[in-house]
Amino acid sequence: MLFSITASSFLGFYNTFNAYLGEGEDILAIYDRKSTTPFTGLVPLQLTTRIESIDGVLATSPEIITPTLVKGKSIFIRGVIPEELAKLNSLTILDGETLELNNTNSAILGKTLAHTLGLTPGDTMLVSGVLANRYVELTIKGIYESNSPLDDEALTPLYIGQWLRGRNYGLVTIIRVKIDRSKVAPAQIFEAIAEEPSPPQPGEERKPSPIEEIIPISTATINPENLGVKETSEFMKTYLDRYGMTQETLLILSTVVFFFASATMFGASHTIIRQHEREIFVLRSLGTSAKTLKLDLIVKLLPWSLSASALGILISTALLFALEQSSALQALSHTIHFRPDPLLIAVNLLLVSALVVTGVIHSSRHLNI
């Protein structure tokens, strides 16, 4: 049970953040390679115009992710262009109305965040920025469900998130791009944003984007060396790996916890053998080999140990799901989601079997069987 809780918690955290920006292979992230976290990077918004013109690009969603405080709780506000975000993430409005780009001082909340804050459509919330000394009062326009980490965030028009972040309107945290891989590859996306834009032809006028009709977009310097293009899951994995939080490392840490807790199994094996020490010596005096006795003990102890371990796995799974539903376990203001892992269950039962065998052999030697 202890191993299951530890390993499932670690792997749940790892898998949740790998899926933070979407798991589809057709969704890419354009990000700041020099940022220390996935939430603090800045890339030029004007890259969106270049990317949109590439054949095979289906949608582009510039987003700015801003840590804030609401009612003393830490939450993430994501500034987006709602029409573009909807092409990458399916949002179901559970209550109220959807968000429009021109909805100044409005926000929609993920269902988990709305439950945590106790807010409903029509309520207002005072938001204070963490990275900049900015405050804004937002009216809740609706509650949505996405079945993704977005359920723990609030969505606002892009310029509201930029203002709270304390940077100019020409920068965003990340640009997510949906592509048709049969027409374009990630390397071609990087080549397109790295090359110098061609000058406009005489008489050619570029139609302003929806965001430019609301706010002025300042031109930012584009340095290709600072930019990266990766699948969204690989993008998040880059930051997890940077701090040593690989899937293998987390599983090893869980295994270490298992072995520290395994002293009880050794003690149980030793106690059972001591309780039947008289019968064991009688069988030995009648000519039963030590190998046969050890095998008999293992065969009798193993089903009980595996049954107890299976019960522990069921209890831990039920406990973790209960914690998930209550949003009691969070990391960086996002709920950790748990999924039963067959490999994890198999490893658990395999380790239990190994401990039973080791415990019987060790106790038998101690009693000179």
Determine, yes or no, domain membership for 55.
Answer: yes
Residue 312 pLDDT greater than 70, yes or no: yes
| Both structure tokens of 329 | 């376990």
Q: What is the pLDDT of residue 143?
A: 96
Determine, yes or no, domain membership for 326.
Answer: yes
Q: What is the pLDDT of residue 22?
A: 60
Q: Report which DSSP code applies to 147.
A: S
Do residues 203 and 299 both lie within one domain? no
User: Tokens 């021109």 label which residue?
Assistant: 102
Q: What is the pLDDT of residue 96?
A: 94
Do residues 233 and 294 both lie within one domain? no
Q: Among the listed ranges 74-88, 190-204, 300-314, which one has the minimum average pLDDT value?
A: 190-204
Do residues 271 and 211 both lie within one domain? no
Residue after which a domain boundary falls, among 242, 273, 296: 242
pLDDT category, 114, cuts 50, 70, 90? very high
Residue 236 pLDDT greater than 70, yes or no: yes
Q: What is the pLDDT of residue 262?
A: 72
What does the mean pLDDT of the chain come to? 82
Do residues 113 and 219 both lie within one domain? yes
Q: What is the pLDDT of residue 172?
A: 92
Residue after which a domain boundary falls, among 209, 242, 275: 242
Do residues 234 and 313 both lie within one domain? no
* pLDDT: which is higher, 272 or 90: 90
Determine, yes or no, domain membership for 255.
Answer: no
Do residues 214 and 273 both lie within one domain? no
Determine, yes or no, domain membership for 3.
Answer: no
Sign of CA dihedral 130, 161, 175, 335: positive
Sign of CA dihedral 198, 203, 207, 212: positive
Residue 257 pLDDT greater than 90, yes or no: no
User: What is the domain range of residue 271?
Assistant: 262-366
The DSSP H or E segment spanning 2 is helix 2-18
Helix, coil or strand: residue 36: coil
Q: State pTM to two decimals.
A: 0.74
Instruction: Confirm if 143 and 84 have CB atoms less than 8 A apart.
Output: no
Determine, yes or no, domain membership for 4.
Answer: no
Do residues 162 and 196 both lie within one domain? yes
Determine, yes or no, domain membership for 211.
Answer: yes
Do residues 91 and 168 both lie within one domain? yes
Q: What is the pLDDT of residue 356?
A: 82
pLDDT one-digit tens code per residue, 194-206: 775 555 455 555 5
Angle at 157 between CA 152 and CA 159, to 5 degrees: 120
Do residues 96 and 142 both lie within one domain? yes
Instruction: Confirm if 151 and 112 have CB atoms less than 8 A apart.
Output: yes
Do residues 266 and 355 both lie within one domain? yes
Total structural domains within the chain: 2
Determine, yes or no, domain membership for 251.
Answer: no
Residue 58 pLDDT greater than 80, yes or no: yes
d(CA 216, CA 162): 12
pLDDT category, 235, cuts 50, 70, 90? confident
Do residues 180 and 144 both lie within one domain? yes
Q: What is the pLDDT of residue 318?
A: 87
Residue 192 pLDDT greater than 70, yes or no: yes
Residue after which a domain boundary falls, among 242, 272, 306: 242
